[in-house]
Structure 1
C-alpha cells in the first residue's frame, strides 16, 4: 500500500511539472520507465539522478541499459515482422488497413501502398472474402454493443496475385485493445496454405474417384444421387437416371484377359465423359456397370441421350476387341416414389434391354 501511495505521489508530482526522485523499486521496471519516457519526463529524471548520490547514478546506468535493451527488442521485432513469410496487418474498426507488412509484396506482387490504400480498386479480396470481412466487422460491432470482448475469427480465402495466379491463405483476425481495454482494431495474420489446400483437394478427389476409370466411384455417385433427389423435391423438377452395362463383358475378359477388359473400361469412360452435358454426372457403379445422373431431364430427353450414348459406344473403335455394345435402362423421377424405387426401375429397365437382345435402350 505504501508503494502505491508513493507511486501516485510521484506521478502527481510529474504532472505538476516537478522533478521528484524515482520511487524505490521502480528503477529496474522497464514498463514503468517506458511510461515515464512516453510522458516526456525521462530527461528530467536523468538530470535529477545526476545530482544524487552513487546509488542513484547506478539507477541511471540501469535505466540507460534498459533503454538500450528496449530499442534492441523493438528492432528485433521490426526485423521479424518485415521479414516474416506471413502477411501481418492491422485494421481499424471501419475495416481499413492501418498497417501491412512488406511480405505482402513477396506473396502477392502488390506493394504495401497498393494494398493499404487501394485494396478495393485492385480487387485484393474476392467478393466472397469481402462478405466475410463485412460479417466479421458486424460481429465486432455487435460484440462491443453487448459489452463483450471480441476474441478472434479464422477463415480461409482464395486470392489472386498481381499477375493473376491463384493462391490460398489462412487468416486469423484477433482483437487489439488499448490500455483502457477498449477495442481499437484487429490484428490479422495471413499464411500461404496453397500447397495444403491442393493436397486436401487431392485427397478428397481420390476418395471420390474410381481408380481404373477416373470417373466418380459408387460412394460419390450415391451422394450425388441423394443431392439431386433432394434438389428435385425442393424445386419441383425432374431428373433422369440411366444404368449402363457393357454387353458380353465376361466374354471379353475370358477371351482377351482382364488387362484388355480394364483397357476397354478405361476407353469407355472417355467416351462417356466426352458426351455428357456440363450439369450431368457419370460414375462407375461396379464391374462393367455405369450410372448417369441427368438433372432437369424428362423421359423423352433421357431416351434420346441414352440412344446417343449407345450409338457412340457401338461406333467407337476400341483397342481390343474393336467393337463392343452396351445396354441401357432409363428411369425418370417426377416427384413420386423414393430414390431406391427410382434406381430399381432403372436397373430393371437395363436388364429388360439385355433380355430383349442387348445393344438397346429401355424405359422403366
Structure 2
C-alpha cells in the first residue's frame, strides 16, 4: 500500500515538474528576443513565437497557416524540403533572406536543429534579423573599395582585379587590355571655375564613362584627374575602339557649368607573363604620348 502511494506521489511530482518545465519553456519561447519557429518536415509551421511573427509582419495566426517557402526568398521549395529532411542534431547555421508581409526583404541569420516530439521530427529554428548588420558591412566594403568622390573603384580594388585577370590570361589565354585617360588642362578648369566645379566634372564624367562601358569593364579612379579602365576579354583593337568612343562622348558632353572638357587616352594589351609594373608603365607611356602629340586623342602601345 505504502509503495503504491509512493509511486503515485512520484508520478504526480514528475507530472508537476513536467508542467513547470513546459511553462518555463513557454516563457522562454515567448520572451526570446530572437524569432523562433518550429517546423514540420513538410514545411508547415508547428509553432512560432510573437517575435518571429513581428519580424515578418504577420500575426501569429497567419504564421501558423503558412509554409516556410512562402517567406524564404533565398531557397526554392525543393531545396527547403531537402534541407528539412536532412537536418539533424546538431543542425546548421546559415544566412538567408525572408520576405515580409509588406513585400520588403530582410536578411536573417538562421540556426536550426532537429528534435523529436510525440514520435515526429520537428525542426527548431532560431532567427535573428541581421539586415542592419549586412547594410553596415556593405557600406564598409564600399568605402574600402571605391573612391568617395566619383563612386568608381579605387586602386586597391583594381590591383586585386588585375591580378585575377592576369591569372585568367595565363591559364586560359583570354585577352585583357587597359585604357588610361586623363583630362586635358584640368588645372585650368579648377583655376577658371573653382574646385567645386572641378569635382563636379569628375563626378559627372565618372557616371558618363560608366554608362558607356560594359558591365564587365572596371572603371577606376587612378588619382587626381587620371582614370583607368580594365577591359577583360578584349584585344588591343577593341580597347582602342572603346577609348575613341569615350573620348568623343566626353568631348561632346556639356557639363553642369556649361563648358566642355577633353581627355587624352592611352591603350595597351596585357602580354602573358609580363609583370604588372611593365604593363602599367606601358599604358602610362601611351597616355603620355597622347598628351605630347596634341591631347584629346587616343594613342596605342603594344609590347
TM-score over 0.5 for the pair: yes
Partner of 1:101: 48
Q: Confirm or deny: 8 A CA contact 1:129 1:157 kept in the other structure.
A: no
Partner of 2:4: 20
* Range 222-231 or range 195-204, more displaced: 222-231
Partner of 2:37: 89
Distance 1:362 1:95, change over 3 A: farther
Query: Is the counterpart of residue 269 in structure 1 residue 253 in structure 2?
Result: no
Say which of 316, 338, 361 aligns to 2:275. Answer: 338
Q: Confirm or deny: 8 A CA contact 1:237 1:335 kept in the other structure.
A: no
Say which of 156, 176, 197 aligns to 1:260. Answer: 197
Residues 20-59 of structure 1 mapped to structure 2, 5 A cutoff: 20-22=4-6, 33-34=13-14, 37=15
Residues 1-364 of structure 1 mapped to structure 2, 5 A cutoff: 19-22=3-6, 33-34=13-14, 37=15, 67=16, 71=19, 74-75=22-23, 77-82=25-30, 84-90=32-38, 99-103=46-50, 104-109=52-57, 111-115=62-66, 118-120=67-69, 122=70, 124-127=72-75, 140=88, 150-174=89-113, 176=115, 186-320=123-257, 322-333=259-270, 335-364=272-301
Q: Confirm or deny: 8 A CA contact 1:87 1:100 kept in the other structure.
A: no
User: How many Å separate the matches in 1 of 2:199 and 2:31?
Assistant: 53
With normalisation by structure 2, the TM-score equals 0.80
User: How many Å separate the matches in 2 of 1:133 and 1:350?
Assistant: 58
User: How many Å separate the matches in 1 of 2:84 and 2:169?
Assistant: 34
Q: Which one has more relative contact order, counting CA pairs under 8 Å at least 6 apart? A: 2
- Unaligned regions of 5+ residues in structure 1, if any? 1-12, 38-66, 141-149, 179-183
Distance 1:155 1:95, change over 3 A: farther
- C-alpha deviation, 1:101, in angstroms: 0.6
User: How many Å separate the matches in 1 of 2:81 and 2:112?
Assistant: 10
- Unaligned regions of 5+ residues in structure 2, if any? none
Q: How many equivalent pairs are there? A: 297
- Quote the RMSD (CA, aligned, Å): 3.6
Helix, strand or coil at the partner of 1:127 = coil
- C-alpha deviation, 1:218, in angstroms: 1.6
Larger Cα-atom Rg: 1
Helix, strand or coil at the partner of 1:22 = helix
